[in-house]
Structure 1
Amino acid sequence: MQKIKVTANDSKRRLDRFLRKYLERATLGSIYKIIRKDVKVNGQRKDNNYVLEEGDEITLYLSDERIAALSAPKKAASRRKSKKTFTVIYEDDNILIANKPFGLLTHGDRNEKKNHLANQVKDYLIEKGEYNPRTEKVFSPAPANRLDRNTTGLVLFGKNSDALRTLNRYIREDRISKFYRTIVYGNLEKKLELHGRLEKDSDTNTVAIYDVNETEGRAIETIVTPIQPLRNSTLVEVDLVTGRTHQIRAHLASIGHPVIGDSKYAKGPAKGFNHRLYESCHLSTQLLHSFRLEFRNCDGPLEYLNGRVFEAPLPEQFEEILEELSK
């Protein structure tokens, strides 16, 4: 038998979701069975969807050996500390805003499970003494938004459970505006408010853009503002109103102004432009930078962020390409 005291970081989670993280090797069916037969909260049986509160006591009526087997990590080998390659744009007791460099995943994937931004931030907080994985039951600091491997810029992290939940809610409720800087092929002379629908093809890892009146996919909105005309291209700012996979890249390509360096969505003359840019500046992938975050209508534990604006400087390669195309 084991008793678990629910902490602030564990609270406001459903019982089944808490146990899925706590007993990470148990199947979902096993979790439901354990809740029916082998779990009490504050001495009482609870449903799967019971929401835990700070101070609740969970009792697991399982042997220590069974609990150890179900909660053991899938791989026993310990993870080495990830080398810190991000910079901190802003940090307080609740949140951290990281500037993600080029080539770094936000989360791990099947090919890279160790050195990604989420692990780098966790190691940074462990080193500062602000996060101890040994004392936390199921919570770990995590990103509220995600950038592609080759997209640089601002990523939001919640340092505690309440802050992470609030950031996720702000994003769902459109209380954080996300602005990107990029260079697009061709001359864009006026501000555009683009509407359409986007459908993802998981097999090819690409997306298709449809007219706003079509039924395929999900609704998208992208606002593009030209900043500076360049040689056969334009420096622009993009307001990502809806945040879908590859939205900026595909939406801009659909109007004939693909992001420079983007071999996946560029067509026709844009491909030749990209080839010449690779030879002169070694740009081999999309040039896209998450430049600015604006908080508005904030309430709850992060209300103090209301009206705050955070920016990440352009990466060195971006500046070099901007200079080259300005000649």
Structure 2
Amino acid sequence: MRELTIGKNDAGQRLDRFVAKSLPLLPPTLLQKYIRLKRIKVNGRGAKRDTRLESGDILQLYINDEFFDKPSEENIFLTVFRPQLDIVYEDENLLLVNKRPGLVVHADETEKVNTLINHIQAYLYQKKEWNPKWENAFAPALCNRIDRNTGGIVIAAKNAETLRIINEKIKNHEVEKSYLCITVGRPKPVEGKIAGFLLKDEAKKQVAFYRRPIPGGKTAVTLYRTLETRGPLSLVECRLLTGRTHQIRVSMAEIGCPLLGDGKYGRGDVNRRYGETRQALYSYQLAFPFPTDAGALNYLRGRVFTVADVPFRDKYFPAPETP
């Protein structure tokens, strides 16, 4: 419990608004809940949220110490009161989360609070599985990233050992990531490999594809196979042998079959015709073949995790109805 004394400059304010300004890390919904539960008292008694404070009033705040800290990049997760996560799999070491399109994985220039990592850290904090005050340096972290407008499975490590192992397995190509996408056009051949070099323009946040090595270019290899075609659209499965920024999007565009809804590498006229503003791309399957020792994560060897609901697949390539 902590106490705050109201000075003359704070007098006249509503209780809830004063506490909100004093504790910016405390989520508004949780603040209102604490007032209802009388965990925020004025002069030793419960008070309503619209109580007007007077000079000399003493507030008793029965609130976790973390909420009294100053906001920073490390503790902003505390402002997430109700984490929104679609959990595909969870154990004591990791989380597999189905990220929805439109959500950023980490904070960027457009979003600081509503990020996947903040929701994950808030979830683990509220489950009492993790608290930054218990750790010297470690915080739950993501092992892979997905573009804002792409959906799919993201791996989150709950401890440093898991983070080290998964990062090593990804680096050594021992984690298989498979994507579903819808292309404008029919890939030829229907199954194949796209290999080249990608060069990112940081200013434009756009990637260019080259068939031959280029200074600064990174090797990119994508396997694809066409699953179904209907009219001008094809449902294609892609597997990454390398993990580069925008790899599938720019690679499929290179062979003349850009992704439906892709505003950077796609066809604007087709996107507008179908009313799509996000690329039809989903990291729908994750496999852990682990051909070499995985230490504490050996129990995951051979496991495959799949997202059942891929919205654009069900929209454009629905499964036939069973009689």
Q: TM-score, normalised by structure 1?
A: 0.71
For residues 178 and 139 of structure 2, the distance between their equivalents in structure 1, rounded to whole angstroms, comes to: 27
> Which runs of structure 2 are paired with 1:1-327 in the superposition (5 Å)?
74=72, 79-81=78-80, 83-188=82-187, 190-214=190-214, 217-266=217-266, 270-278=267-275, 283-296=276-289, 297=291, 298-323=293-318
Residue 306 to residue 212, structure 1, CA distance change in 2 (3 Å): farther
Q: Deviations over 1:269-323 (max 9, x none)?
A: x332211111xxxx21111100111111252111111111011123335422334
Cα distance in 2 between the residues matched to 1:132 and 1:204: 38
User: SS in structure 1 opposite 2:272?
Assistant: helix
Cα separation, 1, equivalents of 2:260 and 2:300: 34
SS of the residue corresponding to residue 112 of structure 2 reads coil
Structure 1 residues 248 and 75: alpha-carbon distance in aligned structure 2, compared to 1, 3 A threshold: closer
Question: SS of 1:156's equivalent?
Answer: strand
Letter matched to residue 221 of structure 2: E
TM-score, normalised to structure 2, is 0.72
Work out the number of aligned pairs and report it. Answer: 247
Q: Is the 2:178–2:285 contact (alpha carbons within 8 Å) kept by the matching residues of 1?
A: yes
Quick one: distance in 2 between partners of 1:148 and 1:263? 13
Write the distance in 2 (CA, Å) between the matches of 1:254 and 1:88.
Answer: 34
**Secondary structure at 1:204 match in 2:** coil
Larger radius of gyration: 2
CA RMSD across the alignment: 2.2
C-alpha contact (below 8 Å) 1:85/1:101 kept by paired residues: no
User: For residues 180 and 309 of structure 2, what CA distance do their matches in structure 1 show?
Assistant: 8
Question: Post-superposition shift, 1:121?
Answer: 0.6
**Secondary structure of the corresponding residue to residue 134 of structure 1:** helix
Does structure 2 conserve the Cα–Cα contact (< 8 Å) formed by 1:82 and 1:119? no
Moved more, 224-233 or 79-88: 79-88
Q: Which runs of no fewer than 5 residues in structure 2 stay unpaired?
A: 1-68
| Mapped partners of 2:223, 2:263: distance in 1 | 22
